[in-house]
Amino acid sequence: CKHNFISFIFLSLGTGSNILSALQDLFWLLKSKVEKQLQIISVLQWVLTFLIMGIACTLILMYILCTDCWAIAALYLAWLVFDWNTPKKGGRRSQWVRNWAIWRYFRDYFPIRLVKTHNLLTTRNYIFGYHPHGIMGLGAFCNFSTEATGVGQKFPGIRPYLATLAGNFRMPILRDYLMSGGICPVNRDSIDYILSKNGSGNAIVIVVGGAAESLNCTPGKNSVTLKNRKGFVKLALRHGADLVPVYSFGENEVYKQVIFEEGSWGRWVQKKFQKHIGFAPCIFHGRGLFSSNTWGLLPYSKPITTVVGEPITIPKIDNPSQQDVDFYHSMYVDSLIKLFDKFKSRFGLPETEVLEVN
């Protein structure tokens, strides 16, 4: 009996251990599923912000003006008039917003990584040229408008400002949301202010290819629109701001797009929008909300790795000549190509892959 009792205890312990192990496995499985759902929600809210938040907030504000709560909308509009020029003066960044946990879930969905290759001096100002644009510039946003990938720790003392369409800052609520992340208008007034009246240690992040580049982005293609994009070089010379090439491997992989050939009616419509409104409408799709096998607005969970290259020292020239601009633009293009060639094999591209510069 004694022997049977001892055997029963050991059997019970063994069974309990198995149950505990099973419960632990179940806990981690549930946790993994919850984290995945949070990642999807975090990305979905950003996609909806990118696509409709500005228009939605404008319509809601107009509706409130026609209700008994009109005073709330009127007060906000009065504040809007008073605060109208804030985006042109460096905005109103919030470290609290930049450190939201939702951005870490956003980062892990793909995942997105930031790779530092050189130190940046806090006594200098910088213009980062970000390539490629992709459909939504997901890597640019995550790396430079949030702290999810540790930009503040990797480049201590450097304040990044992601530059985007000035029209976004005319939209109520959206403008304040963008400014909280350190996003500024991509216009001369805003960039001049940050680089000349905001001290040193500033880094303006410009997606150089813009809307034109977004029209050609497609999985498996590494091309940038850069040959005739020289305005950012002229700005760097006027302020003596160092140029830093940045390439995001995987930015073009997260959405699939219908590419219209040059001369087609679709490309004609896109170029008209680009010329008169500042952005080009793209026909694209990602995955569905509930399944990666269906079409939807969510990007595919493909890794995006953003590599920040070596800064190019730029002299301060108040009125740079075209020759000066061409010289430093050529240096920048060469530096970007070298950065791409150095890191391409580390992030899944063959050694034979060539960066196409248009």
Q: pLDDT (tens digit, 9 = 90+) per residue, 38-54?
A: 999 999 999 999 889 99
81 inside domain: yes
Helix H or strand E encompassing 353: none
Confidence of residue 18 (pLDDT cuts 50, 70, 90): low
Q: What percent of the chain has pLDDT over 70?
A: 90
Q: What percent of the chain has pLDDT over 90?
A: 76
Tokens of 325: 């601009």
Per-residue pLDDT tens digits for 149-205: 999 999 999 999 999 999 999 999 999 999 999 999 999 999 999 999 889 999 999
Confidence of residue 9 (pLDDT cuts 50, 70, 90): very low
Each as own residue / partner, the long-range contacts of residues 9-12 (CB below 8 Å, 24 or more positions apart, any chain) are none
State the total domains in the chain: 1
Confidence of residue 33 (pLDDT cuts 50, 70, 90): confident
Q: Lowest mean pLDDT: which of 17-26, 215-224, 240-249? A: 17-26
264 inside domain: yes
Tokens of 116: 């530092």
Confidence of residue 24 (pLDDT cuts 50, 70, 90): low
| Number of helical H runs and strand E runs in the chain | 13, 12
User: What are the DSSP calls for 115-151, one per residue?
Assistant: EE-S---TTS-EEEEEE--TTT-HHHHHHHSSSTT-H
User: What are the DSSP calls for 231-274, one per residue?
Assistant: HHHHHHHHHTPEEEEEEEETGGGS-EEPPPPTTSHHHHHHHHHH
pLDDT of residue 28: 61
Per-residue pLDDT tens digits for 262-296: 778 777 887 777 777 666 778 888 999 888 888 99
Per-residue pLDDT tens digits for 122-139: 999 999 999 999 999 999
3-state helix, strand, coil in the chain (%, to 5): 50, 15, 35
**113 vs 303: CA distance, rounded Å:** 8
18 inside domain: no
How open is the CA angle 198-203-206, to the nearest 5 degrees? Answer: 120
Examine residue 132 and say whether the peptide bond preceding it is cis (omega within 30 degrees of 0): yes
pLDDT of residue 27: 62
pLDDT of residue 10: 47
Does the pLDDT of residue 4 top 60, yes or no?
Answer: no
6 inside domain: no
Q: Compute φ and ψ for 233, nearest 5 degrees.
A: -70, -40
182 inside domain: yes
What mean pLDDT, rounded, does the chain reach? 90
**164 vs 171: CA distance, rounded Å:** 13
279 inside domain: yes
pTM comes to 0.88
In a 3-state reduction of DSSP, which class is residue 298?
Answer: strand
329 inside domain: yes
pLDDT of residue 282: 81
Mean pLDDT on 203-212: 93
Tokens of 208: 């150089």
Per-residue pLDDT tens digits for 88-104: 998 999 999 999 999 99
2 inside domain: no
In which domain, by residue range, is 189 found? 69-357
Does the pLDDT of residue 1 top 70, yes or no?
Answer: no
Mean pLDDT on 62-72: 94
